Structures are given as structure tokens and as C-alpha cells.
Amino acid sequence: MTQPEVRESEAVVEQTPDEYQPELIEPAWREKWEESGLYRQEIERDRPKHYALTMLPYPSGDLHIGHWYAMTPSDARARYMRMKGYNVLFPMGFDAFGLPAENAAISRGIHPKKWTYENIARMRTQMARMGAMFDWEREAVSSDPQYYHWTQWFFKKLLEQGLAYRALASVDFCPQCNTTLAREQVWGEDRHCERCGTPVIKKEMEQWFFKTTEYAEELLDFEGLDWPERVKTMQRNWIGRSTGAEVLFRTEAGHEIPVFTTRPDTLWGATFMVLAPEHPLVDEIATPEQQAAVDAYQLQAERMSEIDREAADRPKTGVFTGAYAINPVNQERIPIWIADYVLMAYGHGAIMAVPAHDERDFEFALKFGLSILPVIERPDGLTKSYAMKGTMKEGFAAALDAEGIAYVEEGGSTYVTLAPERVADYVRVAQAHLQPGSWTEVVGTGWTFVFPDEWLVLDSLKNERRILARCRELEPAVRDYQTVMEMLWGLDFYRDALYHSDYGTMIFSGPFSGTPGDVAKERVTAWLAEQGTGRRAVNYRLRDWLISRQRYWGAPIPIIYCDVHGAVPVPNEDLPVTLPEDVEFMPTGESPLKFHAGFREAPCPICGRPSVRETDTMDTFMCSSWYQYRYLSPGYEEGPFAPEEGDYWLPVDQYTGGIEHATMHLIYTRFFTKAMRDMGLVEFDEPMLALYNQGMVLGEDNEKMSKSRGNVVAPDELVDQYGTDTVRLYLMFFARWDQGGPWNYAGIKGPRRFLDDVWSVATADYQPADVDEAASRDLRRKTHQTIRKVGEDLESFSFNTAVAALMELRNAIMDAQREQNISQVVWEEAVDDLLLLLAPFAPYITEELWQRRGHPYSIHTQPWPDWDEEVAREESITLIVQVNGKVRAKVDVPAGISNEEAERIALAEENVQRWLDGKKVRKVIVVPDRLVNIVV
């Protein structure tokens, strides 16, 4: 394969000293590389391409060690691929829009643009020191108008495709300051405004969304992607596909309330309904008596953010609406409540509550005294395992009637109990057998009944009607349903008997009683469809992507609102809609664009009537969803990327970055690519074919690095002290790349000594004193084994073991140098190969030494050395001899000996014989070229 840029060797640094001094050679080579265009990456149709991409940074200020940790191993692998003959694209850019720039503007009075571009300039020089093969001519910066021009263009394309829409969504709003607030501006438990301290409220505003849910099903398909299982699992969970049924409930007044359920087989156990507090029907159905309570609850729910609402261990709260619904399967009349554990954003914002088989509903029912009705038999028969058989008090056992129910009069009260097999049936039994009016509510298994004026909790499990609580005695403080239920809740027994979420045979479910659990869901769903009260349904946890941000420093949404024509997209010839720079940053939390008349006021593109622009900007995740395409041709003016570049380079072959982007960014960019495919822009389905996640470098204290902890490692200082190559090498050596770990300053000396040794052997004038053929063969073997090992390790991102293998080769070469018994040819091959193998890891020193050894520029365009299987093969191996699995001898034997021969040698060993003494050999296991295990 042809390699570009092979030139005559020429001295880059005049008079370079004989010792390794990275501070002299590194800047010199950097200049030479740039001037010779070593890292220009252009289409070469006769070579296979490899698009290596590493996640682009946010220009936060300084390049920290985490950037080095993410980028330099990715760079080493890209360099390796280049030496393997691929035409490698390895670009870099900046994800430059975002909140920190705006915060800097507000707190320090620096314009976001100035802050951002100064940071980019600084980080670009810091990145240059890394010696990475970035092609800066392909740099893309998302806040450049020539970049966000196309971000806006994509917005319009998505709109045309029907994948963008406008809808009401709630934002945090401060009623005092009369402005929307970002999440970061809402403080404290009570969620008050950062500035004025007023509690914030949720306010509905028109915002733009992308229909990510349109691709939910396709996003679950990872076919052909070489991605970590972990990321795929996280995405699957994020998308959260559930199958079940949509069931139509009606209120007594006739309002339709559709609900989604994954458990249509539990429909007969629905004892109440719950609507999300913001459900549109709530105001219509609430009865006048309940209206005040409902209003109060809604107001309180509105003030809570979703995060607070979703804190799962919060106790359940809710309010009765006063309305009732009819269960379509059995016409039961069930109360309708509102509670914030039901989320408006999922399903239909309403649920049928089945407390016996849903833990949240169970908790809610206990708290508010709602009926609990098991309709699924426990698959494990646990209900029955609480049998009172033989322990039931005589009087009860004797009184059991044919249906397994007993009534005992005692001391003016009626005690009722059920045979254990009737436990699940208690409500029916009670309704059928107790006099109407003689009980108010049945709340337990067969062991718990509630009578008028006296709440009794009996424990018949222990063969006694022990009264656990008699509420009348506890009056007045605890005489309420909740107290009793909380007490019951503490008794695991009741919970076990009443609640489980397993599938099982249906009971007390009208015509479906007896339906086995494995087909129950399906049969009920089919029946619902027949009845016209429901249908099969799939629901996703994934929500549409809200892209509107009430912010300045982002790409403006290219929309003009006209009184007549509504939301009109800005015509292509007027793109980009540029951000005005003369804006004022007042700490209002409101986008300054809103107060910029020159920006805000614009004629309608259709009729020319004075109109207003959209002043919201786009979520920065939108900019980073398509950056891999912009790198191909960052200056291209006819579209987001030049088609001929796309044809050659796309898609990305290897993506590397942190696990923190497993869901958001990586789902968004997949969504984008699928939408682009449907727009006819690309012909593939997935943006990145392979993905690998690196770990994180922690501070020396094993904590996440942060300025406040004072444990931040500054790469620039390390480079000043040890040189770039040493820092790169150490980052790849000190931990497994996918795991990361705490930084350790002392350890960096190892890689530096290694490079000093490489320098010394590569500049040594080696003369063999006395050539030993066997020793020469040994070094040559080690060299070829190392070529194999380093290649394999780079393929699999095992940078640490690759560096270890290079150190081993260094050790072998230095031993040989001491002995001076290696042939000249083998020595030169070993040293040259060491440099070639090391080149992806330490680009500067290898370039320098390659030149000093008289080879043509550049080492980085040399082909990766080949290894010879014959040469790499071991001549002799250490045969391990075990007796009953314990090592008893080690023997050097020629490689490839027969099993019989190995067994013979093993048995002949003196120590082995001692262990075999007098015992009978039962079995001998021989693993070729490895070990012999003798079983006695």
C-alpha cells in the first residue's frame, strides 16, 4: 500500500544533544509535522478508509488530564490503523455553545463569544502539545455561524419531515421576576428562585420538540453494531418499551379515560383509578365538595419539579376527586383519585390501580384505605402456605361452614375468619355473608375485619384471637384508618398475603377465572378488543426531545411568528439566523434575545407583515448530534457536508468517549442519522459502527477531580517536567483504559525511564563481541512476539499491556546490549521494530530516533512491521508437572513434544516420584506444551 509523505531524511533540530531532552525535540517535530502536512487527511480512493472519532470537548477553559486520557489512547489507535495501511481520518473540534459561557458573561461581564473563543484558542495550543494526529483543517466549532447555519438547516429539514413540532411544556418560572428559570437557577428543597427567593412554579410554554419516539422501535435495534453491552442495555432501559393494553374506562358521567396497562390480566382487581394532577379531565370531574382539596393538591404538585416528584421513596400523596369510574370488565364502580405518582408524560397520564398486584397502588391503597383485591393466585402458593391448619382455634375450625367461613360471637363482637384457601376471596365473602351496614370496609386477608365503631386487628395465625389493636382504646390520637394500616404494614405477613406482582392463574375474574398466567395477558387483551373496550398497545418511556432553551448562547431556532401565517421557517437564503453580539446580559434568566429589538423584529417571510422571531435557541445536544458529518468539510457551503467526502469517509468506524453519554448524546445522534437517512442525505442507518468507552482518571485521593477538592492534575506541568511522550505513555500504562483509576505521581517515572532507555539503545553504537546464535534467535523471537502482542492489544484497546510488552522488549534489548552477543542484524531489527511499535504511543521520540538512525521521514507513515509465526514460536517450554492438581515439578522441554514423551518426562522427575511413592496412578492429563497432571 502506498504511504504518503515519505521524504528524505533531514535534520530537524540542528545540534540536538545526545541525551533525551523532550523539551527540545518535541516543539521542533511539531513544527516539522505541520509544515510537511503529515496529518492532512484526504480522500485516497485506493486505500481503505478508517474514520476514528473521539468525543469533542466543551471549551471550558483548560485542557485537563481527562481530555488527555480520552484523546491520546484514541490517537495511538488511530496512528496504529494508519501504519496498518488505512487512510485514517481523526478530526477534532469544539462543542462550543452552552450555559457556562453565559454564566461567565453574567458573573464576570465577559461576552460569551469572547469567553468561548479565548478558551478555544488556549485549548487548541494545549492540544497541539499532545502530539495527536488531528487534522486541524477539518476542525469544526459548533458556535461558528458557518456551523450553526447547518444546525438551523437541519431544524428546518426535521420540520419538513414532520419530525419537529411545537407543543406546550412546563418550565420553571419565577412569578416575582416574571421569567423562566434554568434548572440550575432553582435552589433548595422548597425550589425557590436563585435571586429573589420566591418559590418557583411550573409554567406551560410553547416549545419545540423532535419526535425521537418516532424511531423508538428502530433505536432498539443494535444489529451489526460493535457497541458495549452496557451501553446497549442503558439505551434499552432508557427507551423502555412496554407491551400491554390500552383500556377505556368511563366516568359515571360518561367522560372517557383511556389508560395503559402492562397487566390487563389484573383488570378485575382494579379498585380505584388515579389521574396525574395535571390531567385535563380533573377539573371537569371533580365534585364541588372535593374541588377545594383538588385545587390545593394541584397547586402543590405544580411547584415540584419532575426530579422531586420522581424521588421514589417519597410517601404517597393524593386527593379524592369525588368522581367514580366504571370498570369496563365488571361494571364495578371505583373511585377516581389524583396523585403525583402518576406522571402525565407517560401513557395517558391515568392509571387503573390494582393494589393487590402493583406495589405503588398497594402503598397508596393502604395509606388511603382503599380496597385491595387479589385476582391473581400466587404462583408459589405462598398464600396457602400460611395455613392455619391445625393451629386454628377450635371454635373457629368447628364453625367453618361449607364455604370455609366461620363466624364466632364473643363478648358482643362478631369475629369472622376464613379457611386459608379462601383468603384471597375475602371481599366477596364478606360482601356476601355479612349484613349490609354491619361493616364499613374490609381491609385485610381473612384475618382482619373492620366493624363499625371498633377497629379490630386480630392475629389468628398464632392460634389465638389476640387483639393487636383496638382502636377505640387508642383514641383519639390514632383512631384512623391510616394508623391501623401503618401498623398492618409493619407485619410482613399481611403484605405477603395481600400483595404480589407475579403472573399466575386468574381468580375472581368473572369468565376468566382459572386462566393460566402464561396466556392470561394475551387472552384478556384479545377479549378487550372484541368488546371494543381496549386494544393491544406498546408504550415507551422515551419521550420526544425538547430542544427549546430560553438562552442566548446557542443556535437560534430559525422561525418567525406571523399573526396570519403562524410559525414560518426562515427561508434558506436567509440562513444562518445569526446571534446578535450587542446584547446586554442582565441577570434576569431570560434570553437577552427577547429584549433585542433588532433581532426580535422581522418581517414574515411569506407576507412581509411585521412579525417576531423565535427567541429560544436550540439545545446544544442538537449541535453535537451531527458534528461527525461537519468534520468532513467544515467550510462547505452547499450543505451540511460535501457528498463526495461523505461517500468516502462515512460512517464513523470507531467512536471513543465516556460512558456518561451512553443515553442522551448517543441516542440523539442515532436519531439524527436515521432522520438523515429518511431525508436521503445518507444511506446507512447508524452513525457509529463501533464504540468503546474509556474510564475516568481520578485524583490521587481516589475522588473525582475538582478544583474545590484540590486534587486536579495539570497536564501542562507534567509535560514541562517529563515531556509529552512520557505523559501519553503513562496515561496508557497506569490502568486499564476502560476502567481508569486514581492518578499517582510517583508512577510516571517508570515510563520516563523506559523512554530514556529507548533513547540509549537507539543511539548506541552496537558492536557484537561474540555472536551467540541461540541468544540472537531469542531476541529475534522476542521481537516478533512483541509485534504480535502490541498489534493485538491495540486492536482490543489494551493499551496498558501493550506498553508492558514494549517494556519487556526494552529489557531484552538491554540484556543483549550488556552481553554483546547478539548479531548486528538482529540487534538493528529489534531496535527499529521497537521504535515502530512505540511510534503510536510516543510520536516525538520515535520520530527523532528514527531520523537519527538514518531512516526516511516519517516513522508515522511507515508500514506496521510484520511478524513471522515461525520466528515467534517458542523453541522450548516449561512443562508444569502436577500431582493431583498441585505443582510438583517444572521441566524445560522442547516445544511440540508428544503427549507420551511429556508424560514420560514428567513421571521421571524425582520430586514427582516422591509424591507418587506407593500410590496407584489413576489418570494422566496432558495439556500439550503446557502441563501434565498425574491423578493418583
Positions in 326-345 near RNA (CB under 7 A): 340-345
414 Cβ contact partners less than 8 Å away, ≥ 6 residues apart = 407, 408, 438, 451
Q: Per-residue contact track with RNA, 120 to 149, x per CB under 7 A?
A: ------------------------------
Give the HSE-up count for residue 313: Cα atoms under 13 Å, Cβ half-sphere.
0
Instruction: Give the per-residue SS3 of 224-287.
Output: CCECCHHHHHHHHHHHCEEEEEEEEEEECCCCEEEEEECCHHHHHHCCEEEECCCCCCHHHHCC
Q: Does 747 bind RNA (CB under 7 A)?
A: yes
User: Could you tell me if 834 and 758 are in contact, meaning their C-beta atoms sit under 8 angstroms apart?
Assistant: yes
User: Please, where are the H alpha helices in 549-642?
Assistant: 597-600, 620-623, 627-630
One residue of 479, 753, 873, 904 binding RNA per CB under 7 A: 753
Neighbours of 71 (CB within 10 A): 27
Q: Tell me the window of 202-210, 257-265, 447-455, 613-621 that interacts with RNA (CB under 7 A).
A: 257-265
DSSP codes of every residue in 887-908: EEEEEEEETT--HHHHHHHHHH
One residue of 290, 726, 858, 882 binding RNA per CB under 7 A: 882
State phi, psi for 407 to the nearest 5 degrees: -125, 130
Q: Does 928 bind RNA (CB under 7 A)?
A: no
One residue of 717, 756, 828, 875 binding RNA per CB under 7 A: 756
One residue of 890, 894, 908, 919 binding RNA per CB under 7 A: 890
Q: How far is the CB of 233 from RNA (least distance, A)?
A: 5
C-alpha 468/C-alpha 462 separation (Å) is 12
Which of residues 63 and 274 has its CB atom nearest to RNA in the complex? Answer: 274
Q: How far is the CB of 307 from RNA (least distance, A)?
A: 8
Q: Does 183 bind RNA (CB under 7 A)?
A: no
Q: How far is the CB of 342 from RNA (least distance, A)?
A: 4
Q: Which long-range contacts (CB under 8 A, 24 or more apart) does 481-487 make?
A: 481/368, 481/369, 481/441, 481/443, 482/367, 482/368, 482/369, 484/443, 484/450, 484/455, 484/457, 485/366, 485/367, 485/369, 485/443, 486/366, 487/457
User: Could you tell me if 388 and 418 are in contact, meaning their C-beta atoms sit under 8 angstroms apart?
Assistant: no
Q: Does 541 bind RNA (CB under 7 A)?
A: yes
Q: How far is the CB of 17 from RNA (least distance, A)?
A: 15
Q: Does 495 bind RNA (CB under 7 A)?
A: no
Q: How far is the CB of 283 from RNA (least distance, A)?
A: 18
Q: Does 888 bind RNA (CB under 7 A)?
A: yes
Total residue count of the chain as it appears in this document: 936
Q: Does 783 bind RNA (CB under 7 A)?
A: no
Q: Interaction with RNA in 211-230: which residues (CB under 7 A)?
A: 229-230
Q: Tell me the window of 87-95, 135-143, 510-518, 800-808 that interacts with RNA (CB under 7 A).
A: 800-808
C-alpha 829/C-alpha 820 separation (Å) is 15
Q: Tell me the window of 23-31, 55-63, 711-719, 799-807 that interacts with RNA (CB under 7 A).
A: 799-807
Q: How far is the CB of 153 from RNA (least distance, A)?
A: 30
Q: Which amino acid is at 706?
A: S
Q: Interaction with RNA in 643-662: which residues (CB under 7 A)?
A: 659-660, 662
One residue of 41, 54, 72, 261 binding RNA per CB under 7 A: 261
Q: Does 917 bind RNA (CB under 7 A)?
A: no
Q: Tell me the window of 14-22, 426-434, 738-746, 779-787 that interacts with RNA (CB under 7 A).
A: 738-746
Q: Interaction with RNA in 338-377: which residues (CB under 7 A)?
A: 340-351, 358, 360
C-alpha 127/C-alpha 142 separation (Å) is 18
Which of residues 343 and 679 has its CB atom nearest to RNA in the complex? Answer: 343
Q: Which of 728, 665, 729 is nearest to 691 (CA)?
A: 665
State phi, psi for 405 to the nearest 5 degrees: -125, 140
Q: Does 18 bind RNA (CB under 7 A)?
A: no
Q: Per-residue contact track with RNA, 583 to 622, x per CB under 7 A?
A: ----------------------------------------
C-alpha 82/C-alpha 89 separation (Å) is 9
One residue of 322, 580, 699, 742 binding RNA per CB under 7 A: 742
DSSP codes of every residue in 710-772: T----HHHHHHHH-HHHHHHHHHHSS-TTTEEE--SGGGHHHHHHHHHHHHHHH-----SS--
Which of residues 285 and 807 has its CB atom nearest to RNA in the complex? Answer: 807
Q: Does 316 bind RNA (CB under 7 A)?
A: yes
Q: Interaction with RNA in 461-490: which residues (CB under 7 A)?
A: none
One residue of 106, 804, 891, 893 binding RNA per CB under 7 A: 804
Instruction: Give the cell for residue 102.
Output: 453565559
Give, in degrees to the nearest 5, the angle at Cα 237 between 233 and 242: 125
One residue of 885, 900, 917, 918 binding RNA per CB under 7 A: 885
Q: How far is the CB of 474 from RNA (least distance, A)?
A: 29
Q: Per-residue contact track with RNA, 833 to 872, x per CB under 7 A?
A: ----------------------------------------
Q: Does 818 bind RNA (CB under 7 A)?
A: yes
Q: Which of 23, 5, 11, 2 is nearest to 854 (CA)?
A: 11
Which of residues 40 and 314 has its CB atom nearest to RNA in the complex? Answer: 314
Q: How far is the CB of 524 from RNA (least distance, A)?
A: 13
Neighbours of 24 (CB within 10 A): 15
Neighbours of 522 (CB within 10 A): 14
Give, in degrees to the nearest 5, the angle at Cα 766 between 764 and 770: 155
Q: Interaction with RNA in 265-284: which residues (CB under 7 A)?
A: 276
Instruction: Give the cell for residue 516.
Output: 393460566
Which of residues 685 and 929 has its CB atom nearest to RNA in the complex? Answer: 929
Q: Interaction with RNA in 655-694: which residues (CB under 7 A)?
A: 659-660, 662-663
Q: Tell me the window of 309-317, 386-394, 423-431, 669-677 that interacts with RNA (CB under 7 A).
A: 309-317
Q: Interaction with RNA in 29-68: which residues (CB under 7 A)?
A: none
C-alpha 392/C-alpha 381 separation (Å) is 20
Neighbours of 213 (CB within 10 A): 17
Size of the site for RNA (CB under 7 A): 89
Adjacent-strand bridge partners of 559: 569
C-alpha 101/C-alpha 813 separation (Å) is 52
One residue of 2, 45, 168, 312 binding RNA per CB under 7 A: 312
